[in-house]
Amino acid sequence: MTSEATARRRIAELRQQLATAAQAYHEHDEQLIPDADYDRLLRELEALEAAHPQLDSDDSPSHQIGGRPSSRFPEVVHAVPMLSLGNAFSDDEVRDFVRRIDERLQRRTLVFSAEPKLDGLAISLRYEDGVFVQGATRGDGSRGEDVTANLRQIKVIPARLEGAGWPAVLEVRGEVYMPRADFEKYNEQARLHGGKVLANPRNGAAGSLRQLDPKVSAQRPLSFYAYGTGEVDGGQLPPTHSATLARLAQWGFPVSELCRVVEGVDGLLDYYRDIGARRDGLAFDIDGVVYKLDDRDGQREMGFVARAPRWAIAHKFPAQEQTTTVEAIEIQIGRTGAATPVARLQPVQVAGVTVTNATLHNADQIARLDVRVGDSVIVRRAGDVIPEVVSVIPGRRPPGALPWTMPPACPVCGAEIVREEGAAVWRCSGELSCPAQRKEAIAHFASRRAMDIDGLGDRYIEILVDAGIVRGVADLYRLQRDTLLLLKLALDAADPSALANGIAPHLPAGGSGEWLKALLRLDGNDPRWRAQALALPARFEWNPKKIATRWADNLIAAIDASRTTTLERLLFALGIEHVGESTAKALAQWFGDLELIRQLPWPLFKRVPDIGGEVARSLGHFFEQEGNQQAIDALLQVGRVRIGDVHLPSPRLREGLDLAQLLVEAEIPGITRLRAEKLVAALPSAQQILDAEPQHLLAAGLPEDTAHGLAQWLDSDNHGQLLLRGEAQMRRLLELAPVAAAQPAGPLDGQTVVLTGTLSALTRDAAKARLEALGAKVAGSVSKKTAFVVAGSEAGSKLDKATELGVEVWDEPRLLAFLTEHGQHP
């Protein structure tokens, strides 16, 4: 038996912890501890108070409902108190609940209304003569907050009741909640735009209803389910709870389709297990189910205890949130190079599963939550969703815990990690050289609009990479026919259907998969390869003709066909972030040579029309990574890939290409074209600018703040070397680019054209190429600047947009006639 002194100290501790957590939860929509921890502490307090009744107190959290109403809203006194429910955490506790009712009522069969327990915010809606007049939160059960204006923003809450027969005064009670999909969508947009991320749907619903500006509530994706009634005057409701819910639905209130009438303990437990199995697939969060005696007369006879009815109980599910400690924060690199921070956790059981890792989404989310190594955090797991850290418990932070920052280099390949401009995503810039991105890079490289290696699907890429045969895109050009046949054999052997054709039974017993992997790793020209093949059991004749050879032959032919390619295809195939087909084409047209392009610093890429700072920096980052340069070197080795359309840079590059323009393109704070010209007039080389003292920059005519900003820029992030490289490559471009000869303007020079629908005489790509040859820019969307739209069959929204804006529309015959007239025959 616990001594009274010990019990007194522990009761005081528990009351303080619970009161603090309840105040944060109910009054500030902040969760300091998970629900499971709160329930565990509350039960401990109740047990101690029951064992030491002399220490019980009316103001104990064990006797409280909810929290005090906020002073920011007018107070509402509930005519009928909004009580809370007792909790059951086991089947035996449910049996005890039913037994107590049975002993009191002495009925042959007990009928219950069972419904999901939504994890939202309890509210009451008051209707007078069928019109919604007031809405309030539960508050402390006796008094709540008047949030009428915010509740009016929830579309599913009727402003006026439907049908007829409702009482003169009707108070409907229910739960405001935020659907999971809408919650995720809201948070995704918040992360994207740097807004406040909601911790969970419950906090999102509660916080949305406590906004002083109803317009904010209107922007939140809130919904509502009715689950009961409070004050009723001037009319009667049906004699059962289930019939009352049906009547509320007739009057226009949403009622959960999961509500069900069941009999006895077995019916309750069957419902609990059924809803538990469906829990993860529901559109909303629930933390248990609620059982209510269906008969209202029975409810009145059972009555109430201090803060809960005796005729109802909540049967809680295993907690989806728990507290644990962050032991480390590491970076995972995804298939597309996205760098996702992951919290390594002290193992904890969440919803029946041991959780050791949890996603932190991105660096902005870590900053918003202020997660640090050593922190105590609340971790949430729902179904198959990846566990996530939802909040930090600041009071438990260890001394000396430092804020986390994104590491500068990829943990897999060492390439620089860079942030996408205007987004919360960070990526590894070692696209071609990073093993984490290898499969995605190869799939993109081989795709139809890149190198067009037909037959190399994801399934084959997986096994080629996993077996170590292909470590980069250049290895595709080392593949041998026999290696591909063995790859097919390996895949067939894993297929039960292969047993029928007599291949799988002849593989070495035990570990045949590893044997094949080892065989696949050998070069087809390696003499050991043939020795391995001959080591097959004698009864298995190595006969490639018995294996489907057409795929291997076609793939080898496709690889060989891709060895000679165009510069724009190869640039697109490299998978450089933000470099699509049109950008790759522009780079090829303006610079003409990969050897030149791969040496350029990023500001010079901005000399190409339609390439801005974001794309230029992405190009620069890509070519600055040693691994990417090595991958390109491997591709260009003799016998692998040859670019067939290398040419000199465009003469148009010479226009305005000087040191002053380079300074402008480098996006130096405060440096305009006029200021750059003054600076270059005084300091005519990049080295002189780099060596200049502040007084020299001022003497060149720069304002003091601009001169100071330039000096700082030159001293940071290797910008000085960037300027020197830029000047050297600029001179190289001027040497290589021929002087433009006078050329007649094309008939579509400076005009923007849009293609939509299906053309019968030529493909979309062919039409685009012919229009571009006549000087047009072919765009993907219609605007007021569009010269005309070519509309084929089944043209869609672009044609509608053109009609709306008054843009000229050509049909296919007119396009063909125009192309023929100007020498671009279809």
Structural tokens at position 655:
């226009």
For the packed helices 91-105 and 264-278, what is the interaxial angle rounded to 10 degrees?
Answer: 150
List residues bridging with 229 in a β-sheet. 172
* Encoded amino acid at 376, one letter: S
Structural tokens at position 817:
């006639």
* Dihedral pair phi/psi, residue 200, rounded to 5°: -160, 170
Burial (Cβ within 10 Å: 0-12, 13-18, ≥19) of residue 1: exposed
Binding region for Zn(2+): 410, 413, 434
User: Per-residue DSSP letters for 532-543?
Assistant: HHHTS-TTS---
Rg (CA), the chain: 36
Contacts of 763 (CB under 8 A, 6+ apart): none
* DSSP category for residue 54: G
Question: CA-to-CA distance for 767 and 788, rounded, in angstroms?
Answer: 14
* Encoded amino acid at 423, one letter: A
Provide the Cα torsion 277, 280, 283, 289; round to 10°.
Answer: 50
Count CB-CB contacts under 10 A for residue 785: 11
Strands (E), 757-810: 777-779, 786-791, 808-810
Are the C-beta atoms of 401 and 375 separated by less than 8 Å? Answer: yes
Give, in degrees to the nearest 5, the angle at Cα 324 between 323 and 328. 145
Contacts of 661 (CB under 8 A, 6+ apart): 673, 676
Contacts of 430 (CB under 8 A, 6+ apart): 337, 410, 413, 414, 415, 416, 437, 625, 627, 628
* Dihedral pair phi/psi, residue 346, rounded to 5°: -65, 125
Are the C-beta atoms of 355 and 347 separated by less than 8 Å? Answer: yes
First to last CA, the chain: 96
Count CB-CB contacts under 10 A for residue 96: 14
User: Per-residue DSSP letters for 233-300?
Assistant: ESS---SBHHHHHHHHHHTT----TT-EEEEHHHHHHHHHHHHHHHGGGSSS-EEEEEEEESBHHHHH
Binding region for NAD(+): 35-39, 84-85, 115, 138, 175, 292, 316
- Looking at 117, 585, 606, 768, which residue is catalytic? 117
Question: CA-to-CA distance for 812 and 791, rounded, in angstroms?
Answer: 7
Contacts of 86 (CB under 8 A, 6+ apart): 97, 305, 308, 312, 313, 314
| 280 alpha-carbon distance from chain centroid | 19
Q: Which residue has the tokens 């044609």?
A: 799
Does 785 participate in catalysis according to the annotation?
Answer: no
Give the catalytic positions in this structure: 117
